[in-house]
Amino acid sequence: MPPGAKREGTDVPVSEITPKSLYLGRREILGGALLLASPIVTALAMKSWIVPRRAVHQSKPLPVPVVTAASTAPSTTGAPFATGFFTDEARTPLADVTSYNNFYEFGLGKEDPQEAARGFVTRPWTLSVDGLVARPRVFDVDQLLRRFPLEERVYRLRCVEGWSMVIPWNGFPLAALLAEVAPLSSARYVEFTTLHDPERMPGQRRDVLDWPYREGLRLDEAMHPLTLLALGLYGEVLPNQNGAPVRLVVPWKYGFKSAKSIVRIRLTDTEPPTAWSVAAPEEYGFYSNVNPDVSHPRWSQATERRIGEFGRRRTQRYNGYGEQVAQLYAGMDLVRNF
């Protein structure tokens, strides 16, 4: 996430966003040059090749099976593995997915959350679904795991800062959860709230955002089959730094819409304020659909850097999910509704 209104002089310029895999790559190139220079330095350079990268998360397999494209079981949505649920693009390595994060509750640096969230306790955990619904419910997260079959979805993630990843999520459609609570006809929006607990989320002791982190979708966006509640990735329990135990994934919107460590989902009749639109309304709109034609006030959104790649690639409208979602915005002015 780029600096918002309240960031306190710790900004990393977007131009300096350097994924771990890339700077490791640079160090290897540097090592190659040093190899010719001095045997002592050579030994040090070799060390960075030989010593494996420190484990970046506690690997824990999901306790339930995951329905994958390769498995024969049908998907929970009735539209098994529809276009857009997968991409053939190379998956971002797990080590990068878990070491280059935006999770301001655990620090502002990309590599802070993997350390700061290491001891974050996510059990017990409840998710309350309420507001304009006929049957408000409080789900225990283990109940969610058993009740809704987990699917694999390989989605592109495009951060508003101009980098992207390809992540194999494990989760279930948010629509399945909303069906359980029976939205009232007056419900038009859905608000997502992250845990608010400065004792457990040290970043919340600083006045960076108006905590707790809040996000929102229109109800039809929330019901869209691409919209996922993720409880895992790469077949593992969702790592803490990626938003354990349950986070939202909305692949056609900028990454910040995908709220982490959610405790509450509330249906409303008015557009909910979101943490980023409150912090910097001129920079982060409610919709935040990926759009190469609408620049952020401080940088272009035309291109992005895929983590692990050199150079930049063109950003796709709706992050490449236009075929699935463009009709949600038919007739809307997407410059005004940015």
Ligand X SMILES: Nc1nc2c(c(=O)[nH]1)N[C@H]1C(S)=C(S)[C@@H](COP(=O)(O)O)O[C@H]1N2
Q: Which residues bind ligand X (CB under 6 A)?
A: 1, 101-105, 157, 159, 194, 213, 242-243, 255-256, 258-261
Q: Which is nearer to ligand X, 38 or 303 (CB)?
A: 303
CA torsion, points 194, 231, 283, 272, in degrees to nearest 10? -50
Q: How far is the CB of 150 from ligand X (least distance, A)?
A: 17
Residue 258 contact partner, candidates Mo ion, ligand X, none, CB within 5 to 8 A by sort of partner: ligand X
Please count the residues of this chain forming the interface with Mo ion, following the rule CB under 5 A. Answer: 5
Smallest separation, CB 161 to ligand X (Å):
7
**Would you tell me the crossing angle of helices 39-50 and 20-35 to the nearest 10 degrees?**
150
> Which one, of 140, 314, 156, 317, lies nearest residue 226 by Cα?
156
Minimum Å gap between C-beta 256 and ligand X is 4
Of 102 and 227, which CB lies nearer to Mo ion in the complex structure?
Answer: 102
Question: Least separation, in Å, of the C-beta of 141 and ligand X?
Answer: 16
Specify the residue, 32 or 281, whose C-beta has the smaller distance to ligand X: 281
Contact status: 255 vs Mo ion (CB under 5 A): yes
Candidates 120, 139, 252, 256: give the one binding Mo ion (CB under 5 A). 256
Residue type, 168: P
The minimum distance between CB 208 and ligand X, in angstroms, equals 9
Tell me 89's DSSP state: S
Q: Which is nearer to ligand X, 290 or 325 (CB)?
A: 290
Q: Smaller CB distance to ligand X: residue 67 or 290?
A: 290
User: 52-64: buried (b, 16+ CB within 10 Å) or exposed (e) per residue?
Assistant: eeeebbeeeebee
In the bound state, the residue with its beta carbon closest to Mo ion is 159
Among ligand X, Mo ion, none, the one that 101 touches (CB under a kind-dependent 5 to 8 A) is: ligand X
Q: Which is nearer to ligand X, 67 or 165 (CB)?
A: 165
CB of 104 to ligand X, least distance (A): 4
Task: Report in angstroms how near the CB of residue 159 gets to ligand X at its nearest.
Answer: 4
| For ligand X, the closer CB: 139 or 234 | 234
Cβ-contact 182, 154 below 8 angstroms: no
Q: Is 275 an interacting residue with respect to Mo ion (CB under 5 A)?
A: no
Distance CA(84)–CA(170), nearest Å, equals 15
Residue 183 within binding range of Mo ion, rule CB under 5 A: no
User: For Mo ion, which is the closer residue by CB, 256 or 284?
Assistant: 256
Among ligand X, Mo ion, none, what does residue 194 contact (CB within 5–8 Å per kind)? Answer: ligand X
44: left (phi over 0), alpha (psi -120 to 50) or beta: alpha
Count other C-beta atoms under 10 Å from residue 87's C-beta.
16
Interface pick for Mo ion out of 56, 159, 217, 228 (rule CB under 5 A): 159
User: Whole-number minimum distance, CB 8 to ligand X, in Å?
Assistant: 15
β-sheet bridge partners, residue 170: 152, 232
Per-position DSSP letters for 32-84, written without gaps between them? HHHHTT-HHHHHHHHHHHHSPPPP-S---B-SS-EE-TTS-SPPTTSSTT-TT
Q: Which CB atom, from 75 or from 194, has the smaller least distance to ligand X?
A: 194
Q: Minimal CB distance to ligand X: which residue?
A: 255
| Of 183, 172, 182, residue with least CA distance to 147 | 172
Sheet of 262-268, strands arranged across: 137-140, 126-131, 262-268, 189-194, 214-218
Minimum distance, C-beta of residue 211 to ligand X, in the bound complex (Å): 9
Residues 6+ apart with CB under 8 A from 70: none
Count of positions (residues) in the chain: 338
**CB-based contact 129:181 (threshold 8 Å):** yes
| Binding residues vs Mo ion (CB under 5 A) | 1, 102, 159, 255-256
